[in-house]
Chains A and B, each alone.
Chain A
Amino acid sequence: MSDVILSVQDLTAEVDGNPILKGFNLEIKAGEIHAIMGPNGSGKSTFSKILAGHPAYTVTGGEIVFLGQNLLELEPDDRAKSGVFLAFQYPLEIPGVSNVDFLRVSYNAKRKHEGLEELDAFDFDEVVQSKVTLLKMDPSFLSRSVNEGFSGGEKKRNEILQMALLEPRLGILDEIDSGLDIDALKVVAGSVNALKKPENATLIITHYQRLLNYILPDVIHVMADGRILMSGDKDLALELEAKGYDWVLEGEAVGA
């Protein structure tokens, strides 16, 4: 068995007839942390939402293989159950659905999929409380509606809480660092690092280099206009920080 977790080949996709991904390639192996950087509007969030199965995006070509299966054939909930987790750039507010009920239903969907017994509210509470403590979250988050009235940072932490509960094979973190102060950033980075296991992988999407001081990626990709233009090791992030994205974009223009 290969240790490839995700393999994306020549992916093209559009929304409302506008092409956004224009031949996207990526391979992530078990135990690796990858980062995709790139200017606003280059299609990073689009790619992450396509992985999660968002219905607004149409894949027009290429393939995505996740753990040996064709990911595009799976419903969003089946993708989640087989181990894909996306921490959204803009987590949705869902008034009326209590956060703890939501977390329990989601946790139990996963357990059911794995042939494990579902946990009742009481037993689940124990599981969730320990994660809440780990993430230094205010326990009152649990009784509130999902993300309703949460600050930007609180929403991001709630996403990480969900990831900690679901223990995905591939965690995709879309701009998890935006809106976080430095203390919150350290907590979030700490829990991402704590979740790292040899059989799992993480994909970090960001346009700031700051996060990469706390989560060290094995591979960094630079994305622009729907494609990966350049890949390298962590030094690439520093070079980007110093020279800006224009440097890569210009290089591309010359090379093309």
Chain B
Amino acid sequence: MTIESIPVESTLSDVGNLGGTTKVNRADYLLGLLSLRGELPSELGRLQERRDRAFSLVHDRAIPTTRDEEWRFTDLSDLLRLQFQTRLPSEIGFPQLEDFLLPESTNSRLVFVDGVFAPALSAVDDLPDGVLVGNLVAGAELVPALPAYLANQPGGDEVFTALNTASFTDGAIAWVPKNSVVEAPIHLLFVSTTEALSHPRCLVVAQAGSCVTLIEEYVSLSEGRYFTNSVTEIYVEENAEVRHTRVQRDSVSAFHIGKTAVSQARDSRYTCTAVSLGAKLARHHLEIYQTGEQTDTTLNGLTLVDGDRVGDTHSLIALSQPYGTANQVNKTVVRDRAHAVFNGKVWVPKAAQMTNAAQLSRNLLLSPKARVDTKPQLEITADNVKCAHGATVSQLEDDEVFYLQSRGIPADQARKLLTYAFAIDVIDRISVSSLRDTLTRLIRVQTS
């Protein structure tokens, strides 16, 4: 599928009040996106009912407006200026991927081009017995239990999640059986080459006692105005561990709305490091659903935005059992007229006694016109818990700049050093060294 942009002038007269919130246009636009959906692969036939349900859900909805509480700070009006068509995916080869391949994942890599699985660019080999990494349709045959997982997380009614469920064709599956330890990080690489609409879908199931490292990465070969609407579902079963790094390096003209939904069973451990560097508008829904006691959840987020770009993280940690631990740090660096949004919900109901949860939102504004909206939202009804949260919005400290200057470091270099330090702390938590090095380089460039 590809996109065509409508010159803004003519669009305005054709479709009416684009910047506004006219319901009918937003509904029509969403219908237009829905009409471009692919066929559900026949191998996934058992999911047809779920697919139809998502279809009718989207059918009756509209692209959200800023009057919608969940979208109060993030205006999707600019998305409505883009129109998409069905088109064949581009042919690309290894030379174009050179910058993106990770040596640690030479034999554990899936590549998708404009949303379409590219077997020739993917490589899966030498994985432990029973581990399945491949295109979703392969999973359908090999894993009969698939319907228990795919499109089965809470929160599936959210409009973009449902749009993905109604539309996806290809996607990644990583199935890690009981007690299996996958040493090689699994690299899911989504490459955009053109102004396309795509609905990447990932399903990760880490069965009891297993351990897997996942890198989900969105990159671009062009400066195109594409729209990526991704959904990743992760199931971390009893005493299993998933270390997840999500990297969004889209074109600065692109739109990216992504969902990560995670279910955590008893004694499981989940770590997510989400790094958002690109896109004109990026929104990440990160949702953790606890299904058993004593889970451990660590969420690290970093968003860098400049120009007039928007970077938005909406997270939910929904606890429901005792003895859970959750630690979340979300950082943003905002320049120029850019806008960062963080909304972090933490639910600690009565049943979640002895929970230990901490959330910190730290935001660095580097220009007078830069803007951040940060909203921690803790709903705690359990009484025997430890919950902490904090939010800071700051400029660089004059005293810090002066201290560095007093050691001979020029003011602008001092500011860069301090900004870099603020951001790099999130990158340092990534365990895959080649990815960490690449991101360190990117952060260095973006903070200089």
B411 within 8 A of A: yes
Interface size class of B (residues with CB under 8 A): 20 to 34
Task: Please give, as numbers and ranges, the residues of chain B lying within 8 Å of A162 by CB-CB distance.
Answer: 407
> With A92-B399, A92-B400, A94-B400 given, is the CB distance from A80 to B421 under 8 Å?
no
Task: Please give, as numbers and ranges, the residues of chain A lying within 8 Å of B398 by CB-CB distance.
Answer: 55-56
Whether the Cβ atoms of B406 and A102 lie closer than 8 Å is no
Extra contacts, 6 of them, besides A54-B406, A94-B404 (Cβ < 8 A), are: A53-B402, A88-B406, A92-B400, A94-B400, A96-B422, A105-B413
Whether the Cβ atoms of A77 and B410 lie closer than 8 Å is yes
Which stretch from A61-69, A106-114, A212-220, A224-232 is at the chain B interface?
A106-114
Name the residue in A75, A76, A88, A105 with the highest tally of chain B Cβ atoms < 10 Å from its Cβ. A76
Q: How far is the CA of A136 from the CA of B420 in the complex (A)?
A: 30
B93 within 8 A of A: no
- The interface bits of chain A over 68-96 (1 if a CB of B lies within 8 angstroms of the residue's CB, else 0) are 00000001110111000010100110111
Q: How far is the CA of A181 from the CA of B400 in the complex (A)?
A: 28
Whether the Cβ atoms of A76 and B425 lie closer than 8 Å is no
B368 within 8 A of A: no
Report which of B400, B402, B417, B418 forms a contact with A76, defined as CB distance below 8 A. B402
Name the residue in A77, A97, A106 with the highest tally of chain B Cβ atoms < 10 Å from its Cβ. A77
Whether the Cβ atoms of A52 and B410 lie closer than 8 Å is no
Q: From residue B283, how far is it (CB to closest CB) to chain A in Å?
A: 27
A160 within 8 A of B: no
> With A77-B409, A97-B417, A97-B421 given, is the CB distance from A55 to B403 under 8 Å?
no
Q: How many residues of A contact B (CB 8 A)?
A: 30
Q: How far is the CA of A77 from the CA of B425 in the complex (A)?
A: 26
Chain B interface residues toward A at CB < 8 A: 398-400, 402-411, 413-414, 417-418, 421-422, 424-425
Whether the Cβ atoms of B408 and A106 lie closer than 8 Å is yes
> With A97-B418, A105-B413 given, is the CB distance from A80 to B407 under 8 Å?
yes
> With A92-B400, A96-B424 given, is the CB distance from A109 to B417 under 8 Å?
no
A166 within 8 A of B: yes
Task: Please give, as numbers and ranges, the residues of chain A lying within 8 Å of B417 by CB-CB distance.
Answer: 97, 101-102, 105
Whether the Cβ atoms of B406 and A95 lie closer than 8 Å is no
Sample 16 A-B pairs with CB under 8 A, ordered by A number: A52-B406, A54-B402, A55-B402, A77-B408, A77-B414, A81-B408, A92-B403, A96-B421, A98-B421, A101-B417, A102-B417, A105-B417, A109-B413, A110-B408, A162-B407, A166-B407
Name the residue in B399, B406, B417 with the highest tally of chain A Cβ atoms < 10 Å from its Cβ. B406
Whether the Cβ atoms of B408 and A94 lie closer than 8 Å is no
Task: Please give, as numbers and ranges, the residues of chain B lying within 8 Å of A76 by CB-CB distance.
Answer: 402, 405-406, 411
Task: Please give, as numbers and ranges, the residues of chain B lying within 8 Å of A91 by CB-CB distance.
Answer: 403
